[in-house]
Chains A and B, each alone.
Chain A
C-alpha cells in the first residue's frame, strides 16, 4: 500500500506546477492522511464524505480552470481523482485501479513534453507503479524493501521493452500528434523573441538548454567567427526596446560563389514562435519557411514541436539589396529627443570625417568602443532614461545587447541605415552535429553601405567583437568568469553537453519517427501505402512471436537446474537404459536402478555397485573438498561401464 501511495506521488509530481495552486496542499493532505490511516489501520471514510469531497474538488477545478473539454482540464481531473482515489483504496480491487491510473497519469505527462530527461523520470515512475502493482500480488507485503521483488519488477519491465518497440514501429501513426494542437506548445524554451529590451538576452545566458542542433552536409563546420545564426531582425527602437517590423519576402540570392555554399539540417527545439534560424545569408526560402526581406526566416506556423529543416546558406560578407525610401527612412529612425550627448558626439564625428565614406564612421565608432575603456560584462548596472548616453559616457559596461543597440543608434544618428540582428553565435561541436544553446544567444548590427540612396549592401558589424574578441571565438561561456548563478558549475555544463548528445540521438531515432518515416519503413519492408490489414498482420505475428520468445525464456529460466551429480546421474541413466525406459528409470533412485541392472546384466555388477557406492558417497557424503575429484572419478567409471557394456 505504501508503494502504491509512493507510485501516485511520483506519478503526479512532474505535473504539479501545471495544476491549480490548491492541488499541492490537497495532495499532501490526502496522502498524509492515507499514510496515517494505513499505519494506524483506520477504516475507510464514510462514503458520503468521500463523495462530497470528490464533488467539491470538481467544483474547484471548474472554478479554477473553466469548463470544457481541453487537455488541461482533462489532465487535471485525472490527476486530482487519482490522488483522491487513494482515500477509498482499501481493497485490492481499488489498489489495482489506482496503479492503472498511475500509468495514465504518467502517460499524460508526455502530452506536454517528450524530453529525454523526463523520459528517465517517467521510466522511474513506471517502475514504481509496476512495483506497487506487483507487490499487490503478495498477500501481506510487510517487507517494505526487498531486493528480490525489485529485481522481478525490473524483469517485468525488461520483458515489456520488445513489445514497446514493436508497437512503436508498427502501430499506425497520425499525421500530427493528437496533442499537437496549434495553440499549445511544449515546454520548449522561448529562446530569442521578436523584441529585445534590456536584459532579455542576459536571461538566455543563464540557460544551457539547447536552442537547435545543426548537422552539416559535406563541409566541415566553420570557425566560430563565421557562425552567425540569424534570427529576428529588429528595426524599430523606442528608446528602450527594439522590436521587429513586418517584412516582405526576399527573393533568393542568384549571384554567388558555389564554393561558399553550405548545406545543413537544423533540428530546432520547440519555441512557440515563428522564427527559424540559418547562417548568414540564407540562399532562398523553402516550403515551410518564408525568407523575409531582412534575410530572416519565418515559419508560417508556430514551432510547437521539434522542427527539422534543411537550409542552404552562402557565406557572404555583404548582401546587395535595394531598399525603398520608407524602408530606408525606418532604418534611420531614432528617438530624436533622447540621448543628446551621443547626438552631439556623432555630430562632432561627422564634422571631422566630412566626406569620408560610411566605413570611416563605422570604424570610428568601433575604435571608440575599443579605446575608451569599454568592457564586456554580463552584469552591467541597470540603465534607464537616456540609455545610450548613460552607456556611452558612464557605465561603459555591457554585453552584446548594449553594444549592438548603441552601435546601431549611433549609425542611425550619423545617417547610415542600420539594424539590430538577433540570433545565436557559435555552437559546440559535438562530433556528429553542432549544438547551439540558448546561452549562445547574441545580438549584432548590420549597416547598409549605399552607393546611392536605397541601393547598396548590408554589412555585418559586430561591435561586441571589438570589446571582447573571445566572445566570438570561444562562445559566451568562456568570458564568464564567475558562476552565473549558484547552480552553475563547470562540470554541470560539461555534463549537460554530454547529455545533449544522447538527447540528439533520442530526438533523431525516437521523437522524430513520424508518419512519413513509418511509411518509408513500411515501404522498405515491401508494403504499399495503406495496406492496413497486412501491417496489422505483421504486427500481430511479431507480437505473437515475441510472446512466444518471452514464454520460452521464462520456461528456460524456470527449468530445473541440474547440479553436477544430477548430470552424472542423467548420463548414467542415458548409458544404461534404452530410450523408452529412461523416463521411468530417472524417477528411481540409484539403488533401485542398480538392483534392476545387476539382475539384467550380471557381468556389469561389480562396476555398477562400485559406481553406486562412489556416487552415493560423493553426492551425499561428508566430503565437501574434493568434489571435482569425485566427479572425475565417477565420469571415468561411467566410461568404463559404457565400454564394458559395449563388449
Chain B
C-alpha cells in the first residue's frame, strides 16, 4: 500500500504531514481517511510520540480552525461546551461558546477527564451540536475530533465506556519510530521545519467537497459480501465478547470508502476493506484474553477470510 506511489489529490497533504511525523505514513493515511469519512479518531499512545504534532500538522494542512483542550480530572462539561453567563447590562443570559466550537479539536488525554465531561464531549461529537439551556447550537459542518488517550493502565484515568468508544471511527497508535527515522529527528533541517507551521494545501470548502465524494464511492456486491463476512466473523468469534455493531460496520464501510478515494478510485476493492478492518476493530472488540490477543484475533480473522 505504501509503495504504491500513484499520485492522487491527497498525496501532497500526506507528504506534507509525513515530513513532520517521520515514518508513520500508514497512520497518517488512516487519520486522513477518518477525516474524509467524517469520523473522529482516537489516538492511544504514551506521551511524547507525536500526537500533538500530528494533530497540528493535519489542521494546518487542511486549513482548519484548530483548538486543543487538555482534559483533566477537574474539568467540567462547561469547560468544553461553553457556559451561559448572566449579562447584567442586557439582563439576559448569554451563551459563551466553549472550545468545542471549532473545526479541528484535539482533546488531549481524554481519559483523564471525569465521565461526566467525557460524555458531554462525546455527545456533542456524535450529534454535531451542543444543547444548552434549551437551545441547540450547531457545530461547524466540518468538525473533526482527535482524542488522545493514555494507555489503559496509567494511574488517574477514567476508562472510556464502550458505548463511547464506538463513536470513534478508528483508533490507532503511532508507536515508536524506527531507528533510522528517529535518527532523522535530530537533524537540524527537521528541527527547523518542526518549528514552522505547515502551509495550508487545502481549505475547508475543499474538504467538504472531498467528503461528499467519499460518500459516493461505489461498492460492488462482491466487496459488500466480503465486508459483511468480516463483520459476521467478529460476531461469531468464540473469544470475543461482542462483535461489531451495525454502526461499527458502517464505520468500516465509510473508512474503506475514504481509503479507496485516497487511492484515486471511485469504487471499493477488498483491500480497502481489509485495510480499514484493523483500525475499526481495534478499540471495539473486547476479549477476556487481553488487548494483544484481540490484535492477533483481528489479523487472524482477516487471514481466515481471504478474498480472491
CB–CB A595/B220 < 8 A: no
B267 touches A621 (CB 8 A): yes
Q: B268 to chain A: which residues have CB within 8 Å?
A: 620
Q: Which of B4, B270, B308 contacts A595 (CB 8 A)?
A: B4
Whether B195 sits at the interface, judged by CB under 8 Å, is: no
Please state if A622 and B4 are interface contacts (CB–CB under 8 Å): no
Give the residues from 208 to 228 in chain B that come closer than 8 angstroms, CB to CB, to chain A.
218-220, 222-223
Shortest beta-carbon distance, A547 to chain B, in Å? 31
Query: Do A586 and B223 form a contact, CB below 8 Å, given A591-B4, A591-B271?
Result: no
> What residues on A are CB-neighbors of B222 within 8 Å?
563, 619-620
Is A587 an interface residue, CB under 8 A from the partner? yes
> Taking A591-B4, A595-B4 as contacts, is the C-beta distance between A620 and B267 under 8 angstroms?
yes
Interface size on A, as a range, is: 10 to 19
Shortest distance between the CB of B237 and any CB in chain A (Å): 20
Interface bits A563-594 vs B (CB < 8 Å: 1, else 0): 10010010000000000000000110101100
- How far is A591 from B218 in the complex, measured between Cα atoms in Å? 19
Pick the contact of B269: A566, A569, A586, A620 (CB < 8 A): A620
Q: Which residues of chain A from 581 to 637 have any CB-CB distance to chain B below 8 Å in the complex?
A: 586-587, 589, 591-592, 595, 616-617, 619-622
Tell me whether B190 is interfacial, beta carbon within 8 Å: no
Does residue B290 face the partner (Cβ distance < 8 Å to A)? Answer: no
Taking each of A569, A617, A620, which has the highest tally of chain B beta carbons within 10 Å of its own beta carbon? A620
- Secondary structure dominating the interface of A: helix
**Chain B residues near A563 (CB-CB < 8 A):** 222
**Can you list, as one digit per residue, whether each of A348-376 has a CB less than 8 Å from chain B (1) or not (0)?**
00000000000000000000000000000
Decide yes or no whether B307 CB sits under 8 A from chain A: yes
- Residues of chain A lying within 8 A (CB to CB) of residue B296: none
Q: Tally B residues with Cβ within 8 Å of A.
A: 19
Q: In the complex, what distance in Å separates the CA atom of A620 from the CA atom of B269?
A: 6
Given contacts A591-B1, A591-B4, contact A616 B308 (CB under 8 A): no
Asked whether B265 lies within 8 Å of A622 as measured between CB atoms, the reply is: no
Once the chains bind, are A566 and B308 in contact (CB under 8 Å)?
A: yes
Query: Closest B-chain residue to A560, C-beta based?
Result: B308
- Cβ contacts B247-269/A at 8 Å (1 or 0 each): 00000000000000000011111
- Tell whether, in the assembled complex, residue B306 and residue A617 are in contact, meaning their CB atoms are under 8 Å apart: no
Q: Are B271 and A622 in contact (CB under 8 A)?
A: no
Given the known inter-chain contacts A587-B306, A620-B220, A622-B218, please indicate yes or no for A595 contacting B3, CB distance below 8 A. yes
What A residues does B307 contact at CB under 8 A? 589
In the complex, what residues of A have CB within 8 A of residue B223's CB?
620
Q: Mark A482-494, 1 if CB is under 8 A from B, else 0.
A: 0000000000000
Q: Which residues of A contact B4 (CB under 8 A)?
A: 591, 595
Given A595-B3, A620-B222, A622-B218, check contact A586 B267 (CB 8 Å): no
Are A621 and B306 interface neighbours, CB within 8 A? no
Interface string of B1-14 (1 = CB under 8 A from A): 10110000000000
Kindly state the separation between the CA atoms of A566 and B226 in the bound complex, as whole angstroms.
14
Q: Which residue of B lies closest to A562 (CB)?
A: B308
CA distance A569 to B267 in the complex (A): 19
Hey, which chain B residues are within 8 Å of A617, CB to CB? Answer: 265, 267
- CA of A620 to CA of B266, assembled, Å: 10
Q: Check B270–A589 contact: CB distance below 8 A.
A: yes
Q: Is A616 in contact with B218, judged by CB distance below 8 angstroms? A: no
Chain B residues with CB below 8 A from A622, complex form: 218, 220, 266-267
Q: A589-B270, A595-B3 are in contact. Are A619 and B220 (CB under 8 A)?
A: yes
Sample 14 A-B pairs with CB under 8 A, ordered by A number: A563-B222, A566-B308, A589-B271, A589-B307, A589-B308, A617-B267, A619-B220, A619-B222, A619-B269, A620-B218, A620-B268, A621-B218, A621-B267, A622-B266
Known: A595-B3, A621-B220. 11 other contacts (CB 8 A): A587-B308, A591-B271, A595-B4, A616-B265, A616-B267, A619-B220, A620-B222, A621-B218, A621-B265, A621-B266, A622-B266
Nearest first, the 6 closest Cβ-Cβ pairs linking A and B are A622-B218, A621-B267, A620-B220, A587-B306, A620-B269, A620-B267
Q: Which residues of B contact A (CB under 8 A)?
A: 1, 3-4, 218-220, 222-223, 265-271, 274, 306-308
